[in-house]
Chain A
Amino acid sequence: MRGHVDAESLALYAEGELSRGRTARVRAHLSGCPDCATTLAALADVTTQLSHVPGPAMPAAVTARLDAALNAEAAHRAAAPAPAPAPPSRPPRRNSRWSPAGLRILAGTAVTLVVAGGVGYAVSQFSGSPSSSASAPSRTAKSSAPSSGHRIHGGPFLSPGEQPNTSSPSGTAYAQTGTDYRRGTLAGQAKGELALYGVSGMSGPHQLAPAQVPGQVRTCARQLAHGHPLLFVDQARYQQRPAIVIVLGKPDTAVAATYSCAPLHSARLPVTSGPTTG
């Protein structure tokens, strides 16, 4: 063999991917050519170099995003007729492995959750259009008349004999505040609303009974919560667009989603002093 063997041929030779004849010629050449032997060794080093690149752990933001996307997908599936009987309600599990895992990673700092467009999970089978359900004042007194007649939400405010017509867990407060939550302040705003609506014995001016909340909103909230305590569901706005904002417990986390249940952003609520569950 004249000259040297090119690197590609040497690499194919090393993999046993050359023809028998070429393999013999390369082998013969290598025995007398230190340069090509060095190149062959260098090719093996490429493998070594590649194998030494540190393996990446999935970043928390990606985990949260994927969790949210799959939760939304699950919500979509739950809303559609299922091919098989779907479980009516899932008992909250101590070690629920899905969104809690992602949401738990949100602990500590607020994590930006950006859901890119173009992924086909967005659903829009809601009966009411987003704008009508979020901005129409028809369902609730817009700014006055604090808690007039709407003091029922989850368990604590149920009158005797009154059944919640929803499978949401007791203790969930519903409201339609119309608040324009912003990306940078989602957690703080949610904390403020939660303080107004989510505490037993208190109810803000835009409180809703569960029956007043569209079923799709409740379904979406439940799916986004995915077994976490659902503390608060607000029909509101996010970055000036109609949105559902929910607050989950353990850890307290705010999640903004579109009315088609596509998650937009999620942030851990600031922890106040005093014991909190985690």
Chain B
Amino acid sequence: MAGQRGPALSGGWGVPQAEPSDAELLRRHVTGDAEAFGQLFLRHRDRLWAVALRTMGDADEAADALQDAMISAFRRAADFRGDSAVTTWLHRIVVNACLDRMRRRAARPVAGDLDLLARTPQAAPDQDVALDVLAALRTLVPDQRAALVMVDMLGYSVADTAEILGVSPGTVKSRCARGRARLLPQLAHLRNQPGVRRVSPPAEGAGEGQS
């Protein structure tokens, strides 16, 4: 996980030492503490929201999925066995809720995310680019989209993403690869535009993973 620009799933999450751990909060919730689950959710909700929103591509759908997921987690907390990090478990429930919804609904155009993004203050200079990227992302099949959102967009490691999605790391890599290939023609026009910051030239040894 070293060098990963994204979040680490296990470990601190910037939680001060004095704060109870995620596992402790979940345990308290199971034993009747009325506030513990809320604390746990508050700790991770922005990240879970980002996963849901970018995977669903629509703010209303994302909110529905996240709500389904959190209520499910609330009820199923006693089933958590501690064989993964609590955050991994939460992410898995959220992603599964998103994928369930996406599979249930027929592919149809949505605009919620675009609308939401348009009101995101920090979106100003790159906004058009971001809108194009999000629109392109919606053309991917759900499995590819979820993998690409987690790895490329939100910076989760392949290993963490694999655990969350319940597939092998190789499957995550190939879903990401196929997703990128599919996005390529849709995003080609954005290359070398002022709004697109090219962070680094392609790696010398192309077999290396992407940063």
Chain A residues within 8 Å of B, Cβ to Cβ: 6-8, 10-17, 23, 27, 30, 39-59, 62-63, 65-67, 69-70, 73-74, 77-78, 82-87, 90, 93, 96-99, 101, 116, 118-121, 226-227
Chain A residues lying within 8 Å of B67, measured Cβ to Cβ, are 65-66, 69, 116, 119
Q: Which of B8-16, B33-41, B79-87 contacts A (4 or more CB under 8 A)?
A: B33-41
Cβ-defined contact, A62 with B70, below 8 A:
no
Give the interface centre of A39, A70, A82, A96 by most chain B CB atoms within 10 Å.
A70
Chain B residues lying within 8 Å of A49, measured Cβ to Cβ, are 129, 133, 187, 190, 196
Cβ-defined contact, A74 with B206, below 8 A:
no
Cβ-defined contact, A51 with B153, below 8 A:
yes
Cβ-defined contact, A15 with B176, below 8 A:
yes
Chain B residues lying within 8 Å of A97, measured Cβ to Cβ, are 35, 38-39, 42
Within the complex, the shortest CB–CB distance from B160 to chain A, in Å, comes to 16
Known contacts A11-B176, A46-B152; can you find 17 more A-B pairs with CB under 8 A? A13-B206, A14-B210, A15-B176, A17-B173, A45-B191, A45-B196, A49-B196, A52-B133, A66-B63, A66-B66, A70-B38, A78-B34, A83-B32, A90-B34, A98-B35, A99-B38, A120-B71
Identify which of residues 158-204 in chain B touch chain A, using a CB-to-CB cut-off of 8 Å.
170, 173-174, 176-178, 180-185, 187-188, 190-191, 196-203
Chain A residues lying within 8 Å of B200, measured Cβ to Cβ, are 44, 48
Cβ-defined contact, A11 with B39, below 8 A:
no
Of the residues B75, B122, B177, B198, contact of A54 by C-beta under 8 Å: B122
Q: How many A-B residue pairs have CB under 8 A?
A: 206
Cβ-defined contact, B201 with A41, below 8 A:
yes
Chain A residues lying within 8 Å of B177, measured Cβ to Cβ, are 8, 11-12, 14-15, 17
Chain B residues lying within 8 Å of A70, measured Cβ to Cβ, are 37-38, 41, 70-71, 74
> What are 5 pairs between A and B in contact, CB < 8 Å?
A44-B202, A46-B183, A58-B45, A63-B45, A119-B67
Chain B residues lying within 8 Å of A62, measured Cβ to Cβ, are 49, 59, 62-63, 66
CA distance A226 to B203 in the complex (A): 53
Smallest CB-CB separation from B191: which chain A residue?
Answer: A45
Within the complex, the shortest CB–CB distance from B75 to chain A, in Å, comes to 8
Of the residues B30, B154, B178, contact of A8 by C-beta under 8 Å: B178
Chain A residues lying within 8 Å of B102, measured Cβ to Cβ, are none
Identify which of residues 126-162 in chain B touch chain A, using a CB-to-CB cut-off of 8 Å.
126, 129-130, 133-134, 137, 148-149, 152-155
CA distance A119 to B65 in the complex (A): 9
Cβ-defined contact, B184 with A7, below 8 A:
yes
Chain A residues lying within 8 Å of B63, measured Cβ to Cβ, are 62, 65-66, 116
CA distance A85 to B28 in the complex (A): 11
Of the residues A15, A39, A50, A119, contact of B71 by C-beta under 8 Å: A119
Chain B residues within 8 Å of A, Cβ to Cβ: 5, 30-35, 37-39, 41-42, 45-46, 49-50, 53-54, 59-60, 62-64, 66-68, 70-71, 74-75, 78, 116-117, 120, 122-123, 126, 129-130, 133-134, 137, 148-149, 152-155, 170, 173-174, 176-178, 180-185, 187-188, 190-191, 196-203, 206-211
Cβ-defined contact, B210 with A87, below 8 A:
no
Cβ-defined contact, A13 with B207, below 8 A:
yes
CA distance A15 to B170 in the complex (A): 9
Within the complex, the shortest CB–CB distance from A93 to chain B, in Å, comes to 8
Cβ-defined contact, A12 with B66, below 8 A:
no
CA distance A43 to B210 in the complex (A): 9
CA distance A30 to B188 in the complex (A): 20
Within the complex, the shortest CB–CB distance from B136 to chain A, in Å, comes to 9
Cβ-defined contact, A59 with B173, below 8 A:
no
Within the complex, the shortest CB–CB distance from B169 to chain A, in Å, comes to 10
CA distance A30 to B204 in the complex (A): 12
CA distance A23 to B39 in the complex (A): 48
Within the complex, the shortest CB–CB distance from A230 to chain B, in Å, comes to 15
Chain B residues lying within 8 Å of A93, measured Cβ to Cβ, are 35
Cβ-defined contact, B45 with A66, below 8 A:
yes
Within the complex, the shortest CB–CB distance from A141 to chain B, in Å, comes to 36
Chain A residues lying within 8 Å of B197, measured Cβ to Cβ, are 48, 52
Within the complex, the shortest CB–CB distance from B145 to chain A, in Å, comes to 11
Chain B residues lying within 8 Å of A58, measured Cβ to Cβ, are 45-46, 49
Contacts A11-B178, A50-B152 given; does A83 touch B207 at CB 8 Å: no
